[in-house]
Amino acid sequence: MSLSFNVTPSQRRSKLINSIDAQGFVRIIEAHNGLSALVGQTASFERDGHSITYDGFWESSLTDSASKGLPDAEIVGNPSRLHTIDEILSVTSKPMIVDGDTGGSDVQFEYFVRDLERLGVSAVIIEDKIFPKRNSLDASANQTLEDPDAFARKIVRGREARVTDVFMVIARLESLIAGLGIEDAVMRAKKYIDSGVDGIMIHSKQDSPDEVIEFANLYDELCKPFGRRPILVCVPTTYNLITDAELAKYGFNVIIHANHLLRAAHKAMLDTSEVILSNDRGFEAEPWCVALPKVFAQVGFDQVKSKDREASKTQRLSVVIPAAGKDPIFNEGPKSLIEINSKPILRHQIETIRKVGINQIVVVRGYQGEQFDRFSDESGLVFCDNPQYLDTHSIHSLFCADQYLGNGFVLAFSDVLFSDDILRWLIDTENDIVLAVDNSYRYHRHEIDKNLDLVVTREGRTGHHRSLYPVKKKVEITRMGKNVSMEKADYEFTGLAYFSEEGARIVHQVYRDCLENVHESFHEADSFAKATISDFVQEIINRGFSVHGLEVYKGWMEVHNQMDIEVASKELRSDLVGS
Ligand code: SPV
Ligand code: MG
């Protein structure tokens, strides 16, 4: 998962203010490391048909310190904080507000703002206490407030260090925490707004929300002389009966749930460690723990495994190109070696196959087979021979490469140019036998002067909808052959087909059986020896196996005559097909 949440620093930075503008308020969850951030990134709850999620993260000084086993007293320095912040940002895409404590000295604050903005953080909140501060929620801790004018100057210095207007410097009023009352908070708020601050956070450690509501009720009025209303922030840790929606109604724009993920994890850790000791084993602790697959899924291990599987599937596959036949039109040599833009078709095919990462290519030679010698140094390319090329057809040629089919393979006609996308989509399919089929032949059928391999499907041909994305629809093939009427046909076979390991096992079994038992005509062929891929696919379907079609539209071309060569060479020059 963690790799999927990708965003640039500038995209992320502006998300906070955009969400506030769009929704009126944002709901922020604390994060103290990559895992807690992933929880905050993905958590959601369905209510009345709407999915409720967190809008961003609070990188809390309390939980950052506690997760390092340290007290919240400005002991964890900026380099360490920045490291944790970057850890969270690197696995998520939601915006972040950083708890900047007192900000340190003016100069320290300037550098901190510079670093946070560069990383893509949206806002920093600094509190108007004297460095080194003590956590605000501990009733017995000493709370000494900063001179408000000195703090206002720090705000100015921080804002001047920004590069963009999007990054926000927010002032946190600690008057209520220090017991100085609402008048002190209002006096300080005015000074900070006058200094240009982008937001005001009013903090309280009371169980009741009354005093922050009182401040919120005064807020619009106190902002009026300045002609702007900086966003209003609260942290309802102690007054936690009031809902986010209610706080938003009182005018709060940012509501921070400041330490819950760390406290939840801490409680589970305490209980779990005790349960293991008391039972002398781990079994009883399981209810306190998530199952490991959940951890794997959350941190993206599932994707790593599926990519590994994909990569090894590609490496194990072969592409088999039956190129043994003698073409009635181009009969000066194997059709594979016809040059398009000074490169044989086979060379174009090899380049496309390599782009997809398939190493093994098997060419079945026959007619003028020695002409392929020029490829003999090509690494990963092997040759098989079909000496009976005059009396046999493509299925016989394919099985001349029998030893290379077992791990799964792609069959590619020797006269077809195709894009790497089509090849990639084919091998990405989860079905065992999949043919790339094109739905555009009806539009150009008046130009067609040859028998196509036509395909009828269970679903019927789909219409074209304009779309930015290439079509990757799958259909089930029920009938295939050159004698299928053009009216009934839904698609044309492109000459590219994928067979998984299981698909290879099926074709092998059907082939062996037909070889032994078919002695007369075979579908549209006079004999099994002359069977084409269409005949064979029809046989597979008749035996009850599923054969799928992957609908493609453009991205391939069969070289059938001189005109095709001209069209292909033009398209290849403009980079439309293949290389
Ligand atoms: C934090 O989360 O570190 C805060 C909020 O500063 S509080 O702990 O409530 O002061
Ligand atoms: Mg803090």
* Each residue's pLDDT tens digit, 56-97: 999 999 999 999 999 999 999 999 999 999 999 999 999 999
Ligand 1 contacts CB of residue 99 (under 6 A): yes
- Determine the pLDDT at residue 246: 98
CA of 32 from ligand 1 middle (Å) equals 12
CA of 274 from ligand 2 middle (Å) equals 29
Ligand 1 contacts CB of residue 204 (under 6 A): no
CA of 443 from ligand 1 middle (Å) equals 67
Ligand 1 contacts CB of residue 135 (under 6 A): yes
Lowest mean pLDDT among 60-69, 417-426, 460-469, 547-556: 460-469
Q: What sign does the dihedral 272-273-275-276 (CA atoms) show?
A: positive
| pLDDT tens figures, 221-244 | 999 999 999 999 999 999 999 999
Residue 74 backbone zone (phi > 0: left; psi -120 to 50: alpha; other: beta)? left
Ligand 1 contacts CB of residue 60 (under 6 A): yes
Ligand 1 contacts CB of residue 73 (under 6 A): no
Residue 437 near residue 550 (C-beta atoms within 8 A): yes
Question: Which residue's structure tokens are 């059907």?
Answer: 510
CA of 249 from ligand 1 middle (Å) equals 23
Ligand 1 contacts CB of residue 98 (under 6 A): no
Q: Which ligand is closest in space to the CA of residue 74?
A: 2
Pocket test for ligand 1, best of 235, 238, 262 (most atoms within 8 A of CB): 235
Residue 47 near residue 105 (C-beta atoms within 8 A): no
Q: What would the DSSP string read from start to end of 140-175?
A: TS---BPPHHHHHHHHHHHHHT-SSSSSEEEEEE-T
Pocket test for ligand 1, best of 28, 99, 240 (most atoms within 8 A of CB): 99
pLDDT band per the 50, 70, 90 thresholds, residue 445:
low
The set of catalytic residues is: 72
Atom of ligand 1 nearest to the CA of 101: 6
From atom 5 of ligand 1, which residue's Cα is the shortest distance away? Answer: 258
Atom of ligand 1 nearest to the CA of 172: 6
Phi and psi dihedrals of 496, rounded to 5? -125, 130
Ligand 1 contacts CB of residue 233 (under 6 A): no
Q: Which ligand is closest in space to the CA of residue 135?
A: 1
Sorted by where each starts, the structural domains of the chain and their CATH numbers stand as: 8-261 (3.20.20.60), 305-563 (3.90.550.10)
From atom 2 of ligand 1, which residue's Cα is the shortest distance away? Answer: 60
- Determine the pLDDT at residue 562: 78
| pLDDT tens figures, 540-549 | 999 999 999 9
Residue 100 near residue 155 (C-beta atoms within 8 A): no
Residue 477 near residue 456 (C-beta atoms within 8 A): yes
User: Which is nearest to 57 in space by CA: 81, 37, 82?
Assistant: 37
Residues 6 or more apart in contact with residue 454 via CB below 8 angstroms: 441, 480, 481, 482, 484, 486, 489, 491, 492, 493
CA of 235 from ligand 1 middle (Å) equals 8
Q: Which ligand is closest in space to the CA of residue 30?
A: 1
Ligand 1 contacts CB of residue 137 (under 6 A): yes
Pocket test for ligand 1, best of 36, 85, 125, 137 (most atoms within 8 A of CB): 137
Question: Which residue's structure tokens are 């501060």?
Answer: 133
| pLDDT tens figures, 308-362 | 877 888 889 999 999 999 887 777 889 999 999 889 999 999 999 999 989 899 9
pLDDT band per the 50, 70, 90 thresholds, residue 271:
very high
Q: What is the mean pLDDT of the chain?
A: 92
- Determine the pLDDT at residue 578: 41
Q: Which ligand is closest in space to the CA of residue 32?
A: 1
Ligand 1 contacts CB of residue 258 (under 6 A): yes
Residues with CB under 5 A from ligand 2 (ion): 61-62, 99
Ligand 1 contacts CB of residue 185 (under 6 A): no
CA of 68 from ligand 1 middle (Å) equals 16
CA of 58 from ligand 1 middle (Å) equals 10
Residue 349 backbone zone (phi > 0: left; psi -120 to 50: alpha; other: beta)? alpha
CA of 48 from ligand 2 middle (Å) equals 35
User: For the whole prediction, is pTM greater than 0.75?
Assistant: no
Ligand 1 contacts CB of residue 74 (under 6 A): no
pLDDT band per the 50, 70, 90 thresholds, residue 466:
low
Ligand 1 contacts CB of residue 237 (under 6 A): yes
Coil, helix or strand for 531?
Answer: coil
| pLDDT tens figures, 92-111 | 999 999 999 999 999 999 99
Atom of ligand 1 nearest to the CA of 205: 9
Q: Residue 68, Cβ neighbours under 10 Å: how many?
A: 13
Atom of ligand 1 nearest to the CA of 177: 10
User: Which is nearest to 87 in space by CA: 117, 53, 56, 59?
Assistant: 59
Residues 6 or more apart in contact with residue 210 via CB below 8 angstroms: none
Euclidean distance between CA atoms 218 and 214, whole angstroms: 7
Euclidean distance between CA atoms 454 and 492, whole angstroms: 5
Coil, helix or strand for 14?
Answer: helix
Atom of ligand 1 nearest to the CA of 258: 2
CA of 564 from ligand 2 middle (Å) equals 71
- Determine the pLDDT at residue 522: 96
Ligand 1 contacts CB of residue 414 (under 6 A): no
